[in-house]
Structure 1
Amino acid sequence: MEIRQLEYFVAVAEHGGFSRAAEHLHIVQSAVSQQVQRLEHELGVRLFDRSTRLVRLSGAGERLLPEARALLDAAGRISQVAAGVVAGEDGVLRLGTIHETGGRLYKALNKLAAAAPRVQVRLIEAAPAERIEAVRSGQLDAALVRGLATSPGVRFLPIWTSPLYVALPADHPVSSGSVVHREQLKELEQLPLRLAARQNNPPFYDLIEALCHTAGIKPPPGPPFTNLLTTLTAIGVGAPSWTIFYEVSTLPSVHRVAIRALDQPAITTSLAVPARRPVPALHHLLDALTGIA
């Protein structure tokens, strides 16, 4: 069964004959007759009662006519949706997401919904490396990532920056100010630095390693950073140590621990997209993300 056959069937029914249907469709009458006959053969029913002067719907034709119209309407909707997807005004975006503060992502999604209401976003959580690989392979249409700027087969579009924070013993001299300047990191060089293993978050680990190199320090490695609250608690009650982190929730208050913003560098969040032609609707998402940055 073909869509064209259903179109011809409906045209004959609505215009009262094969010749009028052919005129409406701008084709020859024989083509209409052949396609309707093929449809009747495939369905195993007679759709029209034919005479030399009249063409009328049979009982089977009357029953099948509304079904044919419904199918043609559905086919039309499919074409409309497909056209919207091509134009970037419709579709589903599979977005790899991150934990972040301030509700920026959800503000952007609200902005996107207002600008392109037919574009849906499906949020998918995954580790940083998995997100990048999913963008590269096409399993994700885009992903938010922190601290990474290059990867084969992927483009990175900077969205916003977030400050880094230093957590250190509250009685350490560096904690006396409201901000830790990069040159002050020299005063922390002898204390163990708590970082998660590089494989957990390579871009962030490399950023901190580059920061230490630029500051001319090589602090001894401390116990691994597990989660923020556990690590801060260990800094407060254990042997002196420190860590650097970015904010993913409200900054906690922990006894005997000072949290100070680091003056530089900030960490950049980017939208990773395929290097090949991206999904058309992505420009709406990019506009929404940059609009609230």
Structure 2
Amino acid sequence: MQVEIRQVECFLAVSESLSFRVAAETLGIGQPAVSGQVARLERELGQRLFERTSRVVKLTAAGQRFLPEARSILAAVERARTVVTQQGEAQVPLRLGSSTGLGQRLDLLLETLKRTDPDIAVELGTYATATRFDRVRTGQLNAAFVRGVGTAADLDVVPVWDDPLVIAVPSTHPTAGQDAIDLADLASLPLWLVPRKANAPLVDLVMSACAAAGFEPTLGPHTSKLPETLASIGNGDGWTILYEPHAQQLRHTRVVFRPALPELSMTTSVAVPAGSRSPLLTRLLAACAEVRTHGSNHRA
């Protein structure tokens, strides 16, 4: 039997997303290549690892048994790579899973680490939340940022800061000139949000806040592309909600960003291997604490 690391990586990518297309996008290769690697792995193991239909991909019983072993294989490879890198280079790699919308927080974190820990070389990767968790479990990532999630199997989820949320409305809307916007004043406008499966904590928070304000919003088209959303909002077609650190980096002549009333925020945490308090992660959390303090002073 000759199982290759690339085959295991493809298997894990598919098992995380239950989609060969998404796995291919995550790995940066073509979908036929992913299918081929998984097929070769199945031949080597003599077992089907996935059940495939035109609509559904799911793990077989054999695939479920192989999943923890596959994670262990990649974790061992990453540990070996880290040992070799640390012995052969002056800098220590910090493989960090990023999150869409970290905005200025991420910039500040990288600046802080460069100043306080110049021997750390940060390697960033942006993935879906479930993929980030799995990559921390397997050792492909040292840590990952997540939002609105308090627990995860086999991981410690450490809160590092709270991000205020801001409302984006057309610059022509009556609320655009206010210092803050009452959610109830937006009841007549459609709300543009990502699909719940893409960011359940954010969607649940916003929908609950609207309910508390006395209305159920009419949802606009689902889109994961913020430029398209803001372009439509600028045209007077609705409103959306963003993380403040992200909004601070955006410039849009037809959209304004204002705090919400009542105030809304989302906790950002760092997911790390359960029980792990390595010097590298200790330094990362210390840098996060400095970023949190900077953000608090900036708002004050």
With the shorter chain as reference, the TM-score category is 0.5 to 0.7
Whole-angstrom CA distance in 1 between matches of 2:128 and 2:113: 21
Q: Does 1:223 align with 2:221?
A: yes
Secondary structure in structure 1 of the residue aligned to 2:145: strand
Aligned to 2:98: 97
Secondary structure in structure 1 of the residue aligned to 2:240: strand
Q: Post-superposition shift, 1:245?
A: 1.4
Q: Post-superposition shift, 1:144?
A: 1.3
What is the one-letter code of the residue matched to 1:241? G
Q: Report if aligned partners of 1:155, 1:272 keep a CA contact under 8 Å in 2.
A: yes
Whole-angstrom CA distance in 1 between matches of 2:110 and 2:92: 19
Q: Post-superposition shift, 1:244?
A: 0.9
Matching residue within 234, 238, 242 for 2:239: 242
How large is the Cα RMSD of the aligned pairs?
2.7
Runs of 4+ in 1 over 4 A off after TM superposition: none
Whole-angstrom CA distance in 2 between matches of 1:166 and 1:142: 30
TM-score normalised per structure 2: 0.58
Q: Report if aligned partners of 1:185, 1:217 keep a CA contact under 8 Å in 2.
A: no
Q: Post-superposition shift, 1:209?
A: 2.5
Q: Aligned ranges for residues 62-211 of structure 1 at < 5 Å?
A: 91-99=92-100, 100-102=102-104, 103-114=107-118, 117=119, 119-180=120-181, 184-211=182-209
Q: Does 1:274 align with 2:273?
A: yes
Q: Post-superposition shift, 1:287?
A: 0.8
What is the one-letter code of the residue matched to 2:287? A
Moved more, 191-200 or 145-154: 145-154
Aligned to 1:68: none
Q: Does 1:286 align with 2:291?
A: no
Whole-angstrom CA distance in 2 between matches of 1:191 and 1:144: 32
Alpha carbons of 1:138 and 1:214: their partners in 2 closer, same or farther (altered >3 Å)? farther
Whole-angstrom CA distance in 2 between matches of 1:112 and 1:139: 24
Q: Report if aligned partners of 1:193, 1:219 keep a CA contact under 8 Å in 2.
A: yes
Q: Post-superposition shift, 1:199?
A: 1.8
Alpha carbons of 1:121 and 1:229: their partners in 2 closer, same or farther (altered >3 Å)? closer
Q: Deviations over 1:33-84 (max 9, x none)?
A: xxxxxxxxxxxxxxxxxxxxxxxxxxxxxxxxxxxxxxxxxxxxxxxx97xx
Larger radius of gyration: 1
Whole-angstrom CA distance in 1 between matches of 2:156 and 2:200: 18
Whole-angstrom CA distance in 2 between matches of 1:145 and 1:112: 23
What percentage of aligned pairs have identical amino acids? Answer: 36
Q: Report if aligned partners of 1:232, 1:254 keep a CA contact under 8 Å in 2.
A: no
What is the one-letter code of the residue matched to 1:245? L
Secondary structure in structure 1 of the residue aligned to 2:197: helix
Q: Deviations over 1:111-143 (max 9, x none)?
A: 4425xx3x4433222122211222234332211
What is the one-letter code of the residue matched to 1:187? D
TM-score normalised per structure 1: 0.60
Q: Post-superposition shift, 1:91?
A: 4.8
Structure 1 unaligned segments of length 5 or more: list them.
Answer: 1-80
Q: Report if aligned partners of 2:184, 2:210 keep a CA contact under 8 Å in 1.
A: no
Secondary structure in structure 2 of the residue aligned to 1:165: strand
Alpha carbons of 1:282 and 1:219: their partners in 2 closer, same or farther (altered >3 Å)? same
Aligned to 2:250: 251
